Amino acid sequence: MLDKTLLDQYFAEHREEFLRDICRLVRIPSERGEPLPGMPYGEGPAKALAEAMEIARELGFSVKNYDNYVCAADLNGLPTELDILAHLDVVPVSNGWTVTKPFEPVVLDGKIYGRGTADDKGPAVAALYAAKAVRDLGVPLSKNVRIILGTDEECGSSDLEHYYSIEKEAPKSFSPDADFPLINLEKGGLRGAFSAEWEEDKALPRLVSADAGIKLNVVPDRAEAVVEGLSRPALEEACAAASAKTGVEFALSDAGEGRCHILAKGLGAHAAGPQGGNNALTGLLCLLSSLPFAESEGIARLRAVAECFPHGDCLGKALGVAMSDELSGETTISLDIFHYSLTGLRGEFDCRACILANDENLRDPIREKLAAGGVILAPCAVFAPHHVPADSPFIQTLLSCYEAYTGEKGYCVSIGGGTYVHHLENGVAFGCAKPGVNNRMHGDDEFAEVDQLLLSAKIFAAAIAEICG
């Protein structure tokens, strides 16, 4: 095992450049955009990839660009035994940031704030510096470690599909895009889209529109609607009651022509852990379902959706699909995208399912429940979980490194999220966040603890030395 004192000294000496390089990446807005020539995910991800490649070259890695989908940074020219996969793309931002602006990173009170500091630019830099430390400290290696940096993790990981159509998987892989100690089981799930259409009904009062959601894997922190034909006092009373029931805050403003705009403000979260947020969309549906609209087909369909996805029900109880098992835990479900117009509605939900789930006990009951309310579920299928046995030598090596550098017991956990290694045969998620710490991933004021990133880099360096030595 690498000497802890040497690593402590090494990262103390390189702390400032470590943080500098994280900031270089965080300053680049790298949400997925429209494809451009030579830029499959748009300009932002391509710029972040170019900056990451420059950082890797400065650190002494041999770097290869795979058509601006991913880059690979090799520590040496030996056969690769370990791939470490991190990503440079980020989820969209809102205007609710208070500590700093999303792409203006700051270090404050031991934390580095900015979009991507925790997910996943900070961990990407930690992996690069871990490998650099192994080389700089003269650790003898018989194998190579390859750092793979991608640009489409948040939107389906098509970047890795491209990469692995060219390259083979390493015998061992981990992604520092989750929590310690180690995640060896990732739930399967179901990503469903539903819709309904009808003829416009002009009877008042009525719902004119409703909109919420920016990405399928993000619990929405904002939702809005426009209503017509209801008095301001009646709306204020209904908003107060809905807010008391859901914890979502509502604000009213004049939309002209006898219409009123409703803004719902909740708390965003990753769809893999919807209990950590307060869904503004389902809060808005709760409010809208309580309003005395004229009866219409549209309102009936909206109320059916609200009944299927009641506020606070993250386990699918209303849909009849609540299930769990000892190994992978509970199934969760989150309604994250919704649009309503005068002639139709559509929505999308993100379900993270325990290993007992299949099309018959998950998809089919949801389809039937929606259909009973006149809402159609588009064709979809439950996707499989990912599991690497906890007693594998690879996992035991990673856990021993974690224990040696934290002094805490290492163990395996199951998560609802699908990480970058979900489709790799011997891939696990390992770091970077401390257990129980909410880094506000996918939310406002995202941050990473500086000391935790540095500790992660030390653990990764130890793992590289053990696995590639």
CA-based nearest residue to 388, from 400, 379, 397: 397
Residue 189 has φ and ψ, to the nearest 5°, of: 175, -170
Is 348 a catalytic site residue? no
CA-based nearest residue to 152, from 162, 144, 143, 140: 162
Q: DSSP for 155-202, please give it.
A: GT-HHHHHHHTTSPPPSEEEE-SEESSEEEEE-EEEEEEEEEE-----
Q: Is the pLDDT of residue 421 over 80?
A: yes
∠ CA 197-34-279, rounded to 5°: 50
| Average pLDDT, rounded, for the chain | 96
CA-based nearest residue to 422, from 125, 70, 85, 49: 85
Annotated catalytic residue within 89, 159, 177, 449:
89
Residue linked to tokens 């770091």: 431
Q: Tokens in use for 309?
A: 């996805």
Secondary structure tally for the chain: helices H, strands E: 11, 26
Annotated catalytic residue within 153, 159, 224, 228:
153
Model-level pTM?
0.73
Q: Tokens in use for 348?
A: 């999308």
Q: Is the dihedral of CA 164, 165, 166, 167 positive or negative?
A: positive
- Categorize the per-residue pLDDT at 41 as very low, low, confident or very high, splitting at 50, 70 and 90: very high
300: enclosing H helix or E strand = helix 297-308
- Categorize the per-residue pLDDT at 268 as very low, low, confident or very high, splitting at 50, 70 and 90: very high
- Categorize the per-residue pLDDT at 430 as very low, low, confident or very high, splitting at 50, 70 and 90: very high
Q: What is the dihedral of CA 229, 231, 236, 239, to 10 degrees?
A: -20
Lowest mean pLDDT across 86-90, 95-99, 223-227: 95-99
User: What is the per-residue pLDDT for 445?
Assistant: 95
> Are 83 and 131 spatial neighbours (Cβ–Cβ below 8 Å)?
no
- The 10s digit of each residue's pLDDT in 97-140 is 999 999 999 999 999 999 999 999 999 999 999 999 999 999 99
Is 89 a catalytic site residue? yes
Beta-carbon contacts of residue 295 (< 8 Å; ≥ 6 apart): none
Q: Quick one: average pLDDT of 181-200?
A: 95
